[in-house]
Amino acid sequence: MERAIVHMDLDTFFVSCERLQESKLNGIPVIIGGGDRGVVASCSYEARYFGVRSAMPIKMALKLCPDAKIIRGDYERYSKFSKEVTEIIQEKVPVLEKASIDEFYMDLSGMDQFFGCYQWTKEIAESVTKNTGLPISFALSTNKTVSKIGTGESKPVGRFEIPAKNINSFLNPLSIRKIPMVGEVTFQLLSRVGIRKIQTLAEMPVLVLQQMIGKNGAELWKKANGIDLNPVIPYSERKSLSKEHTFTNDTMDIFEIKRLISEMAESLAYQLRQEKWLTSTVVLKIRYANFDTETKQMKISYTSIDHTLARVALDLFEKLYTRRMRLRLVGLRFTNLVHGTYQMNLFEDSEELMNLYQAMDRMKNRFGKNALGRASGFELASG
C-alpha cells in the first residue's frame, strides 16, 4: 500500500496569532522579536518582501524594513492557539505527529478507499481556519520529506499534492537548501563543488557524499531522491523534565549544592533544546536529613537557555533552604512545557548568545553532553 503522508504548517504562526488580537496589523510588515540586540522570531510576508527572515538580528531587520511593527511576542498565547489546532486535527486523523508548535505530520495511508486523502486534508485545513482564524498550508505525498518541502513551496495558504510519479520532477529543480537536513555549513560545502540543485545531489554516488559529509551522506542522498521511510510518530505531550540527586552523605556544603543545581539546570536545558521544548515553570525540591521535603516553584517566560534556568533555580534554593540542617537530596524540575522549534528565547536573547548556545549544542551532539559546559556546573578536582 502506498503511503499517504501529510505535512501541515501554520503560516507565519506568531504573526497570525497577533493579527487575530489586533486587526490593524493586517497587511503591514510585522516582526515578532524582542530588544535591540534580539533576533527575529517570526515575521510577516510583507516584512519578508524586504529581506527580513527568522533569526536575523532585529537591528538588521529594521534597516531592511524601517516601517515594520515590532511586537515582543507572547509564547503562552501562541501555545494556547497551537493546542486548539492540535485538538482539531487530532479528532479527525488516525495518526498525528506534532513536530513543533506550528507544524504537524499525518499518516492517512489507506484512507483513500473511504474518502480521497487530498479532499480529507483540505477539509481539515478549512476546519482549522474556520475554528481558529489561523491560515494553514499543507502538502500531501508519500513521505515526510517530500510533504514538508511541498508545504514550503505551496505557501502562503497552499494546498499541494505530489503523487509518487511526480516526486523527482518536483524535487529536481529545487535548491538543496529545501532539504530539511541541509544547514548552512552543508550547503556551503556542497556548493563549493557545484552541488546546488537537488537533481545534482540525487545523481551523486552515495560513497562520494559519505566521504564529503560523513555518515549523513547516505541519508541526504535518499532525501534528494525522494526516499524517506521515517514513520509518523503518534503525538503525546511531555509534562515535565526532571533530575534528582541523593547525596552519599548528608551535606551542608552550599558551594557543592549550588554547583550541583547549576549542573542539573544545564543538563535539563540541553535536553529541552534537543527535544525542542520550552519551559515556563521551574520547581526546586530539597529533602533534609530528617526526611522533611520542601518544594518551591517560579513562573518565568518560556525559555530553554541554561543561564536563565540556572539563575532561577539558584534563586529558588536561596529562598527554600531556610534551616541550618544537612540536606539528603536536591531535585530540579521544568514543567508547563510547550513544543517549538525555537530553541532559544528569541524574544529576549541576543544573536551572539543564540550562536553560542547553538555552537555548544553542536559540540555536545558530536562529543557527548558532558563534553563542555559552564564552569559553575563542573566539579573541581581536589589537590
Q: What share of the chain is helix, strand, coil (3-state, %, to 5)?
A: 45, 25, 35
Q: Does 361 carry a binding-site annotation? A: no
| b (16+ CB within 10 A) / e for 228-263 | beeebeebeeeeebebeeebeeeeeeeeebbbbbbb
With vertex at residue 25, the alpha carbon angle to CA 22 and CA 28, rounded to the nearest 5 degrees, is: 175
Residues whose CB falls within 8 Å of the CB of residue 220, separated by 6 or more in sequence, listed in order = 179, 181, 182, 186, 201, 209, 213
Which of 164, 154, 90, 97 is CA-nearest to residue 124?
90
Q: Which of these is catalytic: 18, 46, 103, 263? A: 103
Query: What is the side-by-side order of every strand in the sheet holding 69-71?
Result: 40-43, 30-33, 69-71
332, amino acid identity:
L
Can 103 be counted among the known catalytic residues?
Answer: yes
Residues whose CB falls within 8 Å of the CB of residue 111, separated by 6 or more in sequence, listed in order = 4, 94, 117, 120
Look at residue 170 and give its three-state secondary structure: helix
Strands 5-10 and 103-107: antiparallel
Q: Does 9 carry a binding-site annotation? A: yes
Cα dihedral 14/15/16/17 (nearest 10): 50
CA 119 to CA 135: how far, in whole Å?
A: 17
55 dihedral zone (left: phi>0; alpha: psi -120 to 50; beta): left
Strands 159-161 and 136-141: parallel
Catalytic residues: 103
**Binding site: residue ranges?**
9, 102
**Binding site for Mg(2+): residue ranges?**
9, 102
